[in-house]
Amino acid sequence: MIFDSYEAYRAANFTPKVCILGSGPAGMTIARKLGAAGIPVVVMEAGPREFSDDSQDFYRGSTVGDFYFDLDITRLRFMGGSSNHWAGWCRVLDKQDFEPKAWVPDTGWPIARTDIEPYLPEVRDILDLPALRPDMPISDDIRWVQLIKSPAVRFAEKFGDELDKATNIAVVLNTCATELAGDGRRVTGARLWSHGQDAGSFSADYFIVCTGGLENSRLLLWSNQRSNGGVVPNATALGRYWMEHPTFEGGNAILADYNAFEVDAVNEAFFSPTLAAMERLQIMNFGIRLIETPYPGVKSLIADLACTAPSMAEWMSYQLSQRLRCAAQLYVAWEQAPLASNQIELSKTDVDHAGVPRIELHWKKSELEHRTLLEGLRLFGATLIEKNLGRVRIADWISNGQDYPTNDETAGHHHMGGTRMGTDISKSVVDANCKVHGMDNLYVGGSSVFCTSGQCNPTTTITALACRLGDHLSKVVTA
Amino acid sequence: MSFIIKKMSRRALVQALIALPALSLFRKLPDADAAGPKPDPNEIVEVGGWILKRSDLA
């Protein structure tokens, strides 16, 4: 059942056991799991069926620190959430991403990759993925990794009909929780906002916050402030350890053989470091995206020339009426060290239409990350030499330790952390089952529970964690 | 000179042009100590951002 307003939903007299806030990949996956288990569930979606400027305006905010995207651009507030602009890149976090790195504080998850692996067949069905393939070592330091370009499932399009026909799942559009109320043990209710006005309070046995990697922290920070700590009793880490995947063009590579690596349909191949290399160099995980430009004949020679003599190559390209770039491009995305100082705060001056403080995001890249970028490119270059596969040129701004350019990709629009998973209540918000520490009926879904980010795009891991949480809750609710 | 260029194939001409900028790399070679051991040709060096094998510079 899909309702366009809370008023219409209320008229249907549906009585849910579980309330999910948000209909993105995490919220919709958990709802489908609970629905399949016969549990009545309501999904409150803040936005409408399609994009709307009015809805999107709730996401405006500000950033302090490094350059970052406008907060109302980097995510979407309508049915299906940010899956509506998802590029479709898929890969599960590496085994070592879940394990603590002795050289980086506050790393390691309370679960292992094996805890989500049983859900990967389901994830493949949900995200329309081909078979997942193991990494292939290229050298002792570098491995070829599979990053799948999936059809980029739009969750509302793919599952809209199924949800509309479901009798034990209600999706309520244009309706959000402006705050949760709690007594330090349980969430006792939610204050709703629907179609531009207060819609009263709402209660359910269980609440799952799946509003996104920025908004989960915002809702819980505001709710906790309003309930004097009654929603997140152990809130030291709430909003903190926020992470992205910084992404920049790192240089070029001349390849001896353009068939040496397996590339995808758009001539791209991906490489990451081995655990031994990360440990030896004391760096984070990273992913190098090699974009081949396999020009034929003379064009190939001019493209190689563009690496060493760009002016001359530009003149020759002009003579050929072609724009030929230097050999292969190397883009690098990397894992950020989890830092408590990278955090989501509530604005003290700016509120949205419902009166909820907007986000003030504090985000800064660390010295360790610049070293990861530089050493990562060096490792890749050394591997190409060792295997006689080609040569790498590192971009000048990286070699010279200059500032990050502001006209590059910047980051992946991947919002992780803020309600991270853990056992130490001073450094985490939820436990290994995504339940908020100290609360009996409050759970969190989505990438805000990530303890570390790894180097790969998060949607596959988000969906796997959502399947796991759905299974767990099905047992809890029916016990 | 123009006669030579006319006789060269297009490919050979481009290959010659590619080789030209590499000459500048020699200027940045570390001074070799004639009395010391010969540098390892497989040693990795960074020149102008390029990650190279020392033998690439020979």
Residues A400-442 have pLDDT tens digits of 999 999 888 999 999 999 999 999 999 999 999 999 999 999 9
Name the residue of chain B whose CA is nearest to A297's CA.
Answer: B11
Q: Summarize the confidence of residues A111-115 as an average pLDDT.
A: 98
Which of A22-36, A78-92, A307-321 is the least confident region? Answer: A307-321
Q: How many CB atoms lie within 10 A of CB A211?
A: 30
Tell me: domain A2-88+152-243+339-364+417-478, CATH 3.50.50.60, correct?
yes
Which pLDDT tens digit goes with each residue over A305-318? 666 666 666 666 66
- pTM confidence score: 0.90
Give A294 or A140, the one with higher predicted confidence: A140
Q: CA–CA separation, A411 vs A69, rounded Å?
A: 8
Q: Summarize the confidence of residues A347-354 as an average pLDDT.
A: 97
Helix (H) or strand (E) holding B43: none
Contacts of A379 (CB under 8 A, 6+ apart): A141, A142, A273, A277, A281
Q: CA–CA separation, A276 vs A271, rounded Å?
A: 15
Q: Summarize the confidence of residues A363-378 as an average pLDDT.
A: 96
* pLDDT on residue A184: 97
High-pLDDT (> 70) share of chain A, %: 93
* pLDDT on residue B30: 55
Q: Summarize the confidence of residues A32-47 as an average pLDDT.
A: 98
Average predicted confidence (pLDDT) for chain A? 94
Q: CA–CA separation, A178 vs A231, rounded Å?
A: 13
Tell me the pLDDT of chain B (58 aa) as tens digits: 455 556 667 667 666 666 665 555 555 555 555 567 778 888 899 988 889 888 887 6
Contacting residues of B for A395, CB less than 8 Å apart: 49
* Cβ within 8 Å, pair A305-B17: yes
Helix (H) or strand (E) holding B29: none
Which pLDDT tens digit goes with each residue over A42-75? 999 999 999 999 999 999 999 999 999 999 999 9
Which pLDDT tens digit goes with each residue over A208-230? 999 999 999 999 999 999 999 99
Contacting residues of B for A396, CB less than 8 Å apart: 49
Distances (CA, A) of A223 to A125, A220, A254, A265, B24: 35, 5, 54, 46, 64
* Cβ within 8 Å, pair B50-A385: no
With b meaning 16 or more CB within 10 Å and e meaning fewer, what string describes A127-153?
Answer: bebeebeeeeebbebbbbbbbbebebb
How large is the ipTM? Answer: 0.79
Token pair belonging to A62: 């500000």
Contacting residues of A for B10, CB less than 8 Å apart: 298
Contacts of A260 (CB under 8 A, 6+ apart): A389, A390
Token pair belonging to A71: 């907060």
Does the pLDDT of residue A448 top 90, yes or no? Answer: yes
Contacting residues of A for B46, CB less than 8 Å apart: 378, 394, 399
* Cβ within 8 Å, pair A309-B20: yes
